[in-house]
Structure 1
Amino acid sequence: MSVDKPRIERLTRELLEAIGEDPERPGLKQTPARMAELYAEFFAGVGEDAAAPLERTISVSQGPAPDTLPSGAVLLRDIRFRSVCEHHLLPFAGHAHLAYLPGEQVVGLGALVKVVEVLAARPQVQERLGEQIADAIDQKLDTRGVLVVLDAVHGCVTMRGGRQSEASTLTIAARGAFTDPVARAELITLIGRPAGGAL
């Protein structure tokens, strides 16, 4: 589904008029076109299949150690993401941390990043975003467990209402083995370690 840019331009002009502004004044004349481009980028994930990047998997049995299944989790930390809260259409942004316990199949790390990007590029709430990422990975890959931790700062908290500029929101979505808090404790500890830190 493609974004209707001309319609966004018309609606942006109407919004500017509704707040008492003149959309023809020099500082605002290009704003409708800029908003159309912005919304096309921010909502590019609407209607896109978030699990599609996970189609290309690699069989562990055909790799360099065919008799060995991975014994531990694959953890990808600090994936930067940004999305738009569906309640006020204000942005929220932060980091996603993804882990899965591979079965027979593994996937390229870039595919995991793409899943986050697709699902974040639509009107969202953080709680649902984490669950959708976990579901996509769990349902598409041969996993024994999935963990998704999102840590984000929300415009609706930092810029309006109580204006808590330092507040961030942490959510956890878990599947399989990682629904047990004890099983995911090591990963939560690893997520909190400084990047490049010694184990």
Structure 2
Amino acid sequence: MGRFILAILIGLVGAGLVHIAVVFMIPRVSDNSAWSRLSSLGEYFQVVRIAPLRDSSSSASEPPSETPRERFAFADPAFIVASCRFELGDGPVEITANGTIDNFWSASIYDSQGGNIYSINDRAAIDGIVNLVVGTPQQIEEVRATTLLEDSPALPVIVDVLRGYVTVRVLIDEESKRAAADSFLRSVTCLPIDIRPTAAASGVERDS
């Protein structure tokens, strides 16, 4: 009986120590999350470059980046990567890149906790173009009520969060393609769009 009670006490003490350790680790883990690290690289709607934790990005073969860069463990050395945080409180955001590219690319949208909520690649995108309009259900309905998506390859993406980030990855399967891929990635934009009707569109006339 005594040994049983002792085992219970040891278990309770051990569980208490584990709980205390977890509580002390939360701030450190939070500071090292993708969201926190991206926050330190740029403001909302600013596209930043991400390098893999272990890569040869300092080699002469890779063109210098014109945007902030930090090494991330989740960045695959076979890809070059850009990311952007967005906030939907004032409206939807449009994510685009200029033209198309032969290299495989993918775009993934995450919530602020790092959960993947949407992904697409060059094979699934319309004409292989990066063009996403991201918004809440109500915002996307408002976009569809305008002419913004008429004759446009933009894909509406409905999310149930107000904050998140997008990551665009381009595969470097041949070193000779790196410069073109880097140029493509540097063309990525992540900008809010205004879906409020103009005075002319809403039928409001100005006083003469």
Identify which of structures 1 and 2 has the higher relative contact order when contacts are C-alpha pairs closer than 8 Å and 6+ apart: 2
Does the TM-score normalized on the shorter chain lie above 0.5? no
Name the larger-Rg structure.
2
TM-score, normalized by length of structure 1? 0.25
Using the size of structure 2 for normalisation, the TM-score is 0.24
